[in-house]
Structure 1
Amino acid sequence: MVTTVVLLYFAAASIPGANLALIMNMAASVPRRIAVAAALGIVAATAVLSTAALLGLGEILTTTRWLGELLRIGGAAYLLWVGLAACVRARQPADGQVFPRLRWSAAFRRGLLTNLVNPKTIAFFCVGLAAAVTAVPTVEARLVALVAVVVSSIIWNVSLASILSTRTARSFFERRRRAVGLGSGVVLIALGLQMALT
């Protein structure tokens, strides 16, 4: 059953969305350690949401409508803000300072918040993972499933940030900097609008 939970996680993580857009944008424009910090922020949110799913977050959000609405509106506003900022940065001249003086902690927070308000992530943890984990018979097995998801998130997100920030990938992105920045910005704006309007 743990294998099923991990496969579900990798299937959901591989679908392009806010997390991938953030990692691509960071990997293309900041030092590797800063891109990895954003990836680790995504991992931390995965740990929080996995725990919340294990504790019944899906049920809480369906029975407490106002909390779900607050999360939806706040998440939409955040995704719109990050998306607009990415579009603005993409239009600026390439001087190597796409994220000027971005600190490790700021990149970590950006990854954490992006994943915490990501509608795809919330749906996955509140519905998909919650159902899969509930089917796991014992508390110990559920904890193993939770740890497996967090370890899978580390492998996926840190590898992605590391690979996409290699010299070859950065060279590719630099030649397409505006397109990557605008593309990731548009994806984040579209996700924010979708979240706001549903």
Structure 2
Amino acid sequence: MHQYWLFVTMCILLILLPGPDTAIATKNTLIKGKIGGLKTIFGTCCALLIHTFAAVVGLSAIIAKSAFLFSIFKYVGGAYLIYLGIKSFISIRKKKEESLIEHEEDVESDDHACFKQGFLTNLLNPKVAVFFLTFLPQFVDSNNHSFLPFIWMGLTYVVLTAIWFVFYILLLNTIRSFMMKPQTQMAIEGVTGTVLVGFGIKLALDKY
């Protein structure tokens, strides 16, 4: 592996670019709190680990070379993002006043949902698989046939992603108290829903 620090720099720049992962982490942090945001990014990182090992064993190569398999991932991933967006729109219409017991049950359920949303949003995005397949080899010597550099770079990307999102989530959580008004929450749900639906449509319509 060569130019490792260049790889780290490129990873940081790519991670800072907003995408579906950022959108769902933002929504869950502002609406459900720090724990919801952290569980979301934990799901995202678990999915990134799967993409890393999939790239190592060649699964990503199969997806990238097969238009059929790529399309399956593309449409399923796009549909899931649209589903999350529509779910955000629906939540705007829910009553804000709930009993204490119902609220506690919803929080527990939402916390589990946060992990699933973060996990599936990343896992069902075929662009992540193609990214790992095409980006990682740029920093490995062509004469090196070991899979260890790919694992090391994949883990580096996951760790950098986790560090950034933990910082981002904690920052959002500090201003959450100013954003708990019903009108603000409805605006957050509406904006996030629009962004997720937009990402879903874009992912589904992207050409192979």
Out of 98, 122, 132, the residue aligned to residue 125 of structure 1 is 132
**Residues in 2 aligned to 1:159 and 1:65: alpha-carbon distance in whole angstroms:** 37
Out of 38, 41, 44, the residue aligned to residue 39 of structure 1 is 41
1:95-149 CA deviation, whole Å, 9 max, x = no partner? 586x933343322111100111235534433433x33354574543333222211
Q: 1:153 to 1:135 in 2, by over 3 A?
A: farther
Larger mean CA deviation between 69-78 and 7-16 belongs to 7-16
Give 2:81's aligned residue: 79
Q: 1:157 to 1:57 in 2, by over 3 A?
A: farther
User: Once the 2 structures are TM-superposed, how far is the Cα of residue 179 of structure 1 from its aligned partner?
Assistant: 2.5
**Residues in 1 aligned to 2:127 and 2:64: alpha-carbon distance in whole angstroms:** 16
**Residues in 2 aligned to 1:170 and 1:88: alpha-carbon distance in whole angstroms:** 23
SS of the equivalent of 1:16 reads coil
**Residues in 2 aligned to 1:187 and 1:146: alpha-carbon distance in whole angstroms:** 27
1:50-86 CA deviation, whole Å, 9 max, x = no partner? 2223333442113222211111111111011001111
**Residues in 2 aligned to 1:2 and 1:91: alpha-carbon distance in whole angstroms:** 49
**Residues in 2 aligned to 1:78 and 1:108: alpha-carbon distance in whole angstroms:** 14
Contact 1:76–1:193 (8 Å) recurs in 2: yes
TM normalised by structure 2 equals 0.80
Out of 7, 14, 20, the residue aligned to residue 9 of structure 2 is 7
Give 1:145's aligned residue: 153
**Residues in 2 aligned to 1:125 and 1:95: alpha-carbon distance in whole angstroms:** 45
Out of 32, 40, 54, the residue aligned to residue 52 of structure 1 is 54
SS of the equivalent of 2:204 reads helix
**Residues in 2 aligned to 1:126 and 1:173: alpha-carbon distance in whole angstroms:** 41
Out of 84, 100, 104, the residue aligned to residue 106 of structure 2 is 100
* Residue 180 (structure 1) aligned with residue 182 (structure 2): no
Deviation >6 Å, runs of 4+ = none
User: Once the 2 structures are TM-superposed, how far is the Cα of residue 171 of structure 1 from its aligned partner?
Assistant: 1.5
For this pair of structures, how many residues does the alignment match?
A: 195
| Root mean square deviation, CA, Å | 2.6
**Residues in 2 aligned to 1:127 and 1:104: alpha-carbon distance in whole angstroms:** 34
Determine what percentage of the aligned residue pairs are the same residue.
Answer: 23
